Amino acid sequence: MVRKKGDGYFKLGAWSLVADQHYTDKGKIDPNATRGTFNLNLYAKYGLSENWNVVTYIPFYVKSYQNHQVSQVTGDELQKGEEFSSFGDMNLGIEYRLFKKSKHAFSAVLTLGIPSGRDEGGSDGSYQTGDGEFNQEIRFNAGTSFKISTLSFYAKAYLGFNNRTENFSDEFRTGFELGTSFFQNKLLLLMRSDIVESMRNGSLNAANSNGSIFANNVEFAGLGGEIAWKFTENLGLSLGYGGALSGRLIYASPSYSASVFYLLK
């Protein structure tokens, strides 16, 4: 949704994923040493005019880590754990309202992925906080609102193409979101799904054979949800969950998020 001139949405959040299994390049699930990624991030969207919005995502702290490996037989430590942290990869974007009439809206978004994280970290270089490539994604959004009985719903869908550099494969992306609210719009419940398909036109090998959110040729079909509660007209808290139903070269475990958001009106 394109916001009005002077309106904004600001979200300060934490995101975590811990996994002891991953999807292989064949789409099967294999075990791995328990690895995790944690970040603190800021998302912001602000209306420059009635038709133009600026959008940014800033993961200002990203930690990539692996837990200690311990023998299940003797209890001895087999391998020490390790972690690496730094600033993450930022997204900077601009959104333009293409069309709005009644309950229907369409927009286009250009997002630039800035390689501000580290594509190598730790003793073996696999503790990444970014992918090291500058990408450009063009995305088209469509949204509408409707009622079922006394409940009001909104639905959004998108279709996008992500051009990647540094020998990464380009990506086709699509997804949808469905939400409704209760208690005079204080409680929001939503469900979302995202699909990423690699074009497999890059020459870079997977950076981590055990799965990685930063590897080349990552693919997944994900499903998740979010619950948000507004304490005041402008301030609220949200909790999120997401996981890959299928995938390639990505962790096979769910992620969790918690955020505080502020609506500028």
Question: Are 172 and 194 in contact, with CB atoms under 8 Å apart?
Answer: no
What pLDDT, in 10s, does the model give residues 122-155?
Answer: 888 889 999 999 999 999 999 999 999 889 999 9
Helices (H), the chain: none
The model's confidence at residue 209, banded by pLDDT at 50, 70 and 90, is: very low
CB atoms inside a 10 Å sphere around CB 203: 9
What pLDDT, in 10s, does the model give residues 33-80?
Answer: 899 999 999 999 999 999 999 999 999 999 999 988 765 666 666 678
The pLDDT, as a whole number, for residue 147 is: 93
Q: What is the mean pLDDT of residues 6-11?
A: 98
Question: Could you give the domains of the chain?
Answer: 8-264 (2.40.160.40)
CB atoms inside a 10 Å sphere around CB 224: 19
The SS3 assignment for 200 reads coil
Q: Tokens at residue 17, please? A: 């994923």
What pLDDT, in 10s, does the model give residues 73-117?
Answer: 666 666 788 999 999 999 999 999 999 998 999 999 999 999 999
Q: What pTM was estimated for this model as a whole?
A: 0.93
The model's confidence at residue 1, banded by pLDDT at 50, 70 and 90, is: confident
Q: Tokens at residue 259, please? A: 């955020």
The pLDDT, as a whole number, for residue 150 is: 87
Name residues whose C-beta falls within 8 Å of residue 247's C-beta, 6 or more positions apart in sequence. 23, 27, 218, 219, 220, 221, 222
Q: Tokens at residue 139, please? A: 């995305």
